[in-house]
Amino acid sequence: MKQINQIYINGEFVTPHGNEMMNLINPVTEQVAAQVRLADETDTRQAIAAAKAAYATFSRTSKAQRIQYLQQLHDAVLARADELEVVMSAEYGGSLAMVQGTVARSSGAFLQAIKLLNEYDFVRQIGRAKVVMEPLGVVGLITPWNANYGFICNKMATALAAGSTVVIKPSELSAGQTQLLTECLHAAGLPAGVFNIVTGRGDVVGAEMTRHPDIAKISFTGSTLVGKTIARDAVDTLKRVTLELGGKSPNILLPDADLAKAIPLALAVGTMNNGQACIAGTRLLVPQERLEEVKTQLLQAVANVKVGDPTQADTQIGPLVTAKQYARVQNYIRLGIEEGAELLCGGEGRPEGLDSGYFVKPTVFVNVTPDMTIAREEIFGPVLSVLTYCTVEEAVQMANNTVYGLQAYVSGENRQQAREVAAQIIAGRVFVNGMYDEPDAPFGGFKQSGLGREFGTYGLEAYLEPKTLIDDE
């Protein structure tokens, strides 16, 4: 059995002080694949001290120096892209397309940070005042398991571009991926202490980072419940926080939508990353008069989706990450049936032909009402809820009838109308007639989907603090 028994502090791989061992289960075979030794509060404090010591020098580096470091990080991650893909697929169960995209975005994050640095002015003149944008200090980065490489690299690249040093707490469920990525980052040859990676539990390592006075900011991606705890605990030391949290994203099909295009898109955005995506469009809002058409098209689309071995090129949906996550999704499917939603396809249990593994049938409920649990709560699995509306105004109201506001989708042939509807939706990002990649645009949520933004200039400035200097001339 593979043993993962090192963390990364002050430029070195070290054995954790913590001695708790955790088994990592392969989501396809349900067998133990590795065992990881988890870090504790002592390890966390050592990592913070290393980052604090490194900050004294790193915060004074020039743009050119940081650009060089970011280029070295990009090259080191890109050099082992194939290995990163294999490990992610085996440990997490993502489809090949999803895994390849994640790895590409991970190395690309450092190039995006270089682009930002080349364009960004850290010193500005405002009247008699000189305003200097300064790094915050030591930043704590807490990342989830559903795109491990991407979250680590994006947050780290932005923080380093700003001149901060970092302590990273990745999900313990991604320990194999983290080990390989850490080897890549180490090979980049950055000064000791600039980045530190401490794999442990959120209520141990994450909690210590949140309360520690030498951490200036927390950037967290994960559940809304945990995000609220971080925000609450960060108040004692007035930490800056960026929180990218949960979602229950609406997808409005306007009355004139071309279903031949809109339904495959709806299924893709509703089940992306095996359904384990905070941005998944899991509430499909359709005109009442077109419900029967939508049902027919959905049945055809789902019938063409392959669920199975994530290493196969034609697999679109792999397993969920853990037995706990599988049980959670099965419970939501049962709740949907109990609360009176009509099960169009899918349902409880594994897909036909899959006797083991955390595989879920792509499930679609129709005649869902806004008060049903499956219409309100984030399921984090390949489960789509179809709600109907009578007017476009009602559709917008239904779309906004949620505590979340992370992402949304609108499909319609009349582009002007689609854009007008998109403008009325309360969400951090709204896509019209597709899903597109714009890494310079801000990403984050309204309402209980989070605080602050990541990516581009907005993301960079979340790691900077303006200082005003005024003299007598």
Instruction: Measure the CA angle with vertex 167, ends 163 and 168; round to 5°.
Output: 115
- Residue 130's alpha-carbon distances to 125, 133, 466, in angstroms, are 5, 10, 10
What does pTM read for this prediction?
0.96
The tens digit of pLDDT for each residue in 201-250 reads 999 999 999 999 999 999 999 999 999 999 999 999 999 999 999 999 99
Q: According to the model, what pLDDT value does residue 472 have?
A: 78
Model pLDDT, residue 1: 81
Catalytic option among 172, 244, 378, 454: 244
Examine the pLDDT at 473 and tell me if it is beyond 90: no
Residue 180's pLDDT is: 98
Residues 6+ apart with CB under 8 A from 441: 429, 455, 456
Question: Using one digit for the tens of pLDDT, what is the confidence trace for 22-70?
Answer: 999 999 999 999 999 999 999 999 999 999 999 999 999 999 999 999 9
pLDDT, residue 358, reads 98
Assess contact for 153 and 41: CB atoms under 8 A: no
- Report pLDDT for 105: 97
Residues 90-132: pLDDT tens digits? Answer: 999 999 999 999 999 999 999 999 999 999 999 999 999 999 9
Per-residue confidence (pLDDT) for residue 373, from 0 to 100: 98
How many angstroms separate the CA atoms of 348 and 163, rounded?
49
Extract the runs of DSSP E, i.e. beta strands, from 43-162. 123-126, 129-135, 138-142
pLDDT in tens, 419-468: 999 999 999 999 999 999 999 999 999 999 999 999 999 999 999 999 99
Angstrom distances, CA of residue 125 to CA of 118, 121, 163? 19, 11, 21
Whether 244 is catalytic is yes
Average pLDDT, the chain: 97
pLDDT grade for 321, boundaries at 50, 70 and 90: very high
